[in-house]
Structure 1
Amino acid sequence: MTGMDWTLEVVIVPVSDLGAAIAFYRDQVGFDLDHETQNEHMHVAQLTPRGSGCSIVVGDLPSQRGMAPGSLHGVQLVVADAEAARAELVGRGVECSEIQTIDPRDGGTFFGFTDPDGNSWAVQQLKVRADQPLIPHEARGRFGEGVEL
């Protein structure tokens, strides 16, 4: 069956304090802050993990007000090296769980962390991502050709 692509590009993360959330995800986890927008209708920020085609949005949009801060659990990030990724986060003051291997095949190694509100993240190691990134380096940038907003 053919049809149009359906790409997951934004996950809403419910937080209680926008400034604290930006500081955590940008400065401690290392996501890029794409933009912070404030007007009479909203105050939101979009952040994107390096190499990801999906961003997170934090703030006070109606969909965010409909979820309790800290109620998002198990969103999964993927890294090529779980040990290095965990060490990087711990070095920036993020509390992480120990690394667990639940399956010896590539993709079976995980650790996790939580943000200040209690939203939880799983980090999966896929060694293949070191050689085969999900989004090739030359295709990165919101509009292709490496162009950033």
Structure 2
Amino acid sequence: MDWKLELVAVPVSDVDRAIAFYTDGAGFHLDHDHRVSDEVRFVQLTPPGSACSIAIGTGLLDVPPGAAQGLQLVVDDVEVAHEELTRRGVEVSEVQHLPWGSFVFFSDPDGNGWAVQQLPPR
């Protein structure tokens, strides 16, 4: 049996600001933006080429904005990813080359922490 992770909730304080960051800055695709009720808004965004999406909104989580840490994206070329994020206005770390891969790091406006990894040659 396959077990597929397809949605990760990310706590944010301002949904519209987060949508702008993830679409305009990080390049995610906006899949859904649905107001379920006055208390609940569900927004789903997906990184290009990913089978896993993130969910942001109101009334979804009972954790503080910025609590999501260690979220990770994997790319073929971390240098190109660094250039693209920088060009889009995202504050991103310098590329770090480690034995288990090359990385850049960034945070969304609430402080949710992301890593972008290029796997080492196998």
What TM-score, normalized to structure 1? 0.76
Higher relative contact order (CA 8 A, sep 6+): 2
Gaps of 5+ in 2: none
Higher strand content, 1 or 2:
2
In our comparison, the structure showing a higher alpha carbon Rg is 1
Whichever residue aligns with residue 117 of structure 1, its letter is D
Q: Distance in 2 between matches of 1:81 and 1:126?
A: 9
The 5 A counterparts of 1:1-20 are 4-20=1-17
For 1:113, the equivalent position in structure 2 comes to 106
For the residues of structure 2 that align with 1:39 and 1:57, how far apart are their CA atoms? 14
User: Which segments of 5 or more consecutive residues in structure 1 lack a partner in the other structure?
Assistant: 129-149
The one-letter amino acid paired with 1:89 is L
Percent same amino acid at aligned positions?
54
SS at match of 1:25: helix
Cα distance in 2 for residues equivalent to 1:98 and 1:112: 8
Q: Pick closer, same or farther for the CA change 1:6–1:61 going to 2, 3 Å.
A: farther
- Equivalent position of 2:53 in the other structure: 55
Match of 2:27 among 24, 30, 35: 30
Deviation string 1:62-93 (CA, Å, 9 cap, x unpaired) is: 4x2x1110011111100111011111011111
Letter in 1 for 2:105: G
CA distance in 2: counterparts of 1:127 and 1:52, whole angstroms: 19
Q: TM-score under structure 2 normalisation?
A: 0.93
CA RMSD for the aligned pairs? 1.4
- Equivalent residue for 1:135? none
| CA contact 1:18–1:44 (8 Å) conserved in 2 | no
User: Structure 1 stretches (4+) deviating beyond 6 angstroms?
Assistant: none
Instruction: Please state how far the C-alpha of 1:49 moved relative to its aligned partner.
Output: 0.5
Mapped pair 1:74 → 2:67: no
Aligned residue number for residue 117 of structure 2: 124
Please identify which structure carries the higher helix content. 1
**Deviation of 1:61 (Å):** 3.2
Letter of the 1:125 counterpart: Q
Match of 2:18 in 1: 21
The CA distance in 2 between the partners of 1:24 and 1:46, in whole Å, is: 13
Q: How many residues align?
A: 120
